[in-house]
Amino acid sequence: DGQSSSTTTPAPVPRPRKRSGILHMNDEEKQHQLNQQKCNSKWHGLVEGNLIVKQGLVDKRKGLFARRRMLMLTMGPHLYYADPVSMTLKGEIPWSPQLRVEPKNFRIFFVHTPNRTYYLEDPEGFALEWCKAIEEMRVNTYGVSPTTCT
Ligand code: 4IP
């Protein structure tokens, strides 16, 4: 069809690194980022040596009440949440190929896991960014599931 002719392909143009580009870094770049995180992030001690891909304050609702937590998506992958006042790790949303995100609006998003749905609210309104980052991590880790029911 003429598409696979031997025309010279133009030299690749270096593109600026996207926020989510961390997933596509080579080992050396990741190690560099990790060293930066060790020196510069006060959360480093809570994430078991994993590289933080995205972090931000969210309100995590359980029952009637919500707790403000620092949510941290890391390589591994992990989704840790910590108390930003006491700077202690409170828990972790368990990763599995079944983990799914569901944005409700600009602030509220759900993280569905086999045993629990986490109700999260980004008070700054970046719920869609969270969903994108978590979904990208899921695809990057487990691939696109062929058995997804819609
Ligand atoms: C707590 O409510 C907090 O929401 C906890 O969140 C939550 O644990 C507890 O649920 C829930 O009872 P109160 O602080 O009002 O008592 P966090 O751990 O972030 O402090 P998780 O971690 O599971 O959401 P239980 O069912 O896990 O105890």
Report whether residue 65 contacts ligand 1, using a CB cutoff of 6 Å.
Answer: yes
pTM of the model: 0.85
- How confident is the model over 75-90, as pLDDT tens digits? 999 999 999 999 999 9
Question: Is residue 16 predicted with pLDDT exceeding 70?
Answer: no
When pLDDT is cut at 50, 70 and 90, the band that residue 9 belongs to is: confident
What is 30-92 written as a DSSP string?
A: HHHHHHHHHHH-TTGGGTTTPPEEEEEEEEEEETTEEEEEEEEEETTTEEEEEETTTTEEEEE
pLDDT at 52: 98
* Ligand 1 pocket test, candidate residues 46, 65, 67, most atoms within 8 A of CB: 67
pLDDT at 17: 52
Q: Which two tokens stand for residue 46?
A: 């809570």
- How confident is the model over 105-147, as pLDDT tens digits? 999 999 999 999 999 999 999 999 999 999 999 999 999 865 5
Element (H, E) at 138: helix 127-142
Report whether residue 19 contacts ligand 1, using a CB cutoff of 6 Å.
Answer: no
Identify whether the C-beta of residue 44 lies closer than 8 Å to the C-beta of residue 37: yes
Report whether residue 97 contacts ligand 1, using a CB cutoff of 6 Å.
Answer: no
- ipTM exceeds 0.90: yes
In the reported structure, the alpha carbon of residue 115 is separated from the centroid of ligand 1 by a whole-number distance in angstroms of: 15
Report percent pLDDT > 90 for the chain.
78
Report whether residue 78 contacts ligand 1, using a CB cutoff of 6 Å.
Answer: no
In the reported structure, the alpha carbon of residue 109 is separated from the centroid of ligand 1 by a whole-number distance in angstroms of: 18
In the reported structure, the alpha carbon of residue 105 is separated from the centroid of ligand 1 by a whole-number distance in angstroms of: 24
